[in-house]
Amino acid sequence: MLHKVTLIPGDGIGPEITEATKRALEATGIKFEWDIGIVGQGAQDKFGTPLPEQILESIKRNKVALKGPVTTPIGTGFRSVNVALRQILDLYVCLRPCKTYRGAPTPFENVDIVIVRENTEDLYIGIEFAKGTNESDKLAKLILETTQTKVREDSGFSIKAISETASRRIVKFAFEYARANNRKRVSAAHKANILKFSDGLFLATAREVAKEYTDIEFEDIVVDALCMRLARNPQQYDIIVLPNLYGDIVSDLCAGLVGGLGVAPGANIGDNIAVFEPTHGSAPKYAGQNRVNPMAMMLSAAMMLRHLGEIKAADRLEKAIAEVIAEGKRVTYDLKLDRNQPAATTSEVADAVIEKLKKQGG
């Protein structure tokens, strides 16, 4: 079967790890028709927008995309392409498995956590008011009138919005994922003890949804306590569902528990569309050096294969990656237990994974 997939190399190191991943995917024997397009700074320079309409149309048409990391300017420039994609395409689930592989540089063993992050609202909804503007002055006055709280005149504002609708569907996804993948427990993280009308709504909705899934264990936990417990005993967690900002932070924490962002895949999923991508950034200072770990994107590609129904190919690809990590010989610098040992290049990692795939046979 031929799978039509939108392929977005991205910025910085994106093109290198995308090429390595494309080679590994094709080595599984699965056939793809790639619809290649650019986003980010390259698209800004060429089309005057970091997210061209033709990319959105391609993803809508193919329903599946594989995407490299994209640079997001800090403080200035265009808003995040990643956030825009999630909001425009209503990719309301950010799915981030964090799993230990033998040979990865971590003191932990047997960690297998899935982060289910709400993707479309919270602080990342992008409603902001800059310091000293008429809009921020009006908001400060409204706050004073309605709450009798005076904020400092030199304040900027970012609005945190959490809805019952978005909370319900992300928690339902977490429970449905648990059922489909033989998972035992869902933990909902929040800060409802302080943020009673936003996180409080998320928590109340999560508790309500949990009543529909009596076969799955449920707990809720304050997010700061969650971080402490993850650092001490991550094996106690199975699936963690969180609002957007906490999910972003906790997913990187969990990636650190299993060896770093170099082995942390991800997917952004809606009702009809899924975009698969590594969770790390574009690392522009390493662009063109052929030295960055492509495994997070390869593992994201394995998630894509499962989404496409190519379960055996996905298992073969993940097994090949795991074998390369366990051997520890042809891995990039971030996976070297001894940093004095020579590290493999991006393309050499791809060669090693492809070699393992060929040894497995069909």
pLDDT at 143: 96
| pLDDT (0 to 100) of residue 80 | 78
Among this protein's residues, is 224 annotated catalytic?
Answer: yes
Angle at 247 between CA 88 and CA 90, to 5 degrees: 15
C-alpha distances in angstroms, 253 versus 56, 156, 318? Answer: 31, 28, 22
Model pLDDT for residues 206-250, shown as the tens digit of each residue: 999 999 999 999 999 999 999 999 999 999 999 999 999 999 999
Asked about 177 being catalytic, the answer comes back as no
What are 309-326's pLDDT values in tens digits? Answer: 999 999 999 999 999 999
Task: Specify the residue for token string 């997917």.
Answer: 267
Q: Where are the alpha helices (DSSP H) in the chain?
A: 14-27, 41-47, 53-62, 81-88, 134-147, 164-180, 199-210, 223-232, 244-257, 295-307, 311-327, 346-360
- Please provide the DSSP assignment of 93-108 as one string: EEEEEEE--TTSS-S-
Q: Which of these is catalytic: 191, 220, 246, 351? A: 191
Q: How far is CA 197 from CA 22, 159, 170, in A?
A: 45, 13, 18
CB of 95 within 8 A of CB of 115?
yes
For residue 79, the model assigns a pLDDT of 63
Look-up: residue for tokens 């950034």?
281
Q: What is the reported pLDDT for 2?
A: 95
Catalytic annotation present for 137: no
d(CA 340, CA 106) in angstroms, rounded, equals 18
pLDDT value for 76? 47
Question: Sign of dihedral through CA atoms 220, 270, 283, 46?
Answer: negative
pLDDT < 70 regions, the chain: 72-79, 362
At 222 the three-state DSSP class reads strand
Task: Give the orientation angle of helix 311-327 with respect to helix 14-27, to 10 degrees.
Answer: 120
**Given the residues 224, 312, 329, 358, the one annotated as active site:** 224
Q: Which helix (H) or strand (E) holds 187?
A: strand 185-190
**Is 252 labeled as catalytic in the residue annotation?**
no
Exposure of 347 by Cβ count < 10 A (0-12 exposed, 13-18 middle, 19+ buried)?
A: middle
The alpha helices in 28-160, defined as continuous H runs, are 41-47, 53-62, 81-88, 134-147
pLDDT at 87: 87
| Per-residue tokens: 57 | 């149309």
Both tokens assigned to 142: 């409204």
From the candidates 92, 101, 124, 246, give the one annotated as an active-site residue: 124
**pLDDT score at 269:** 98
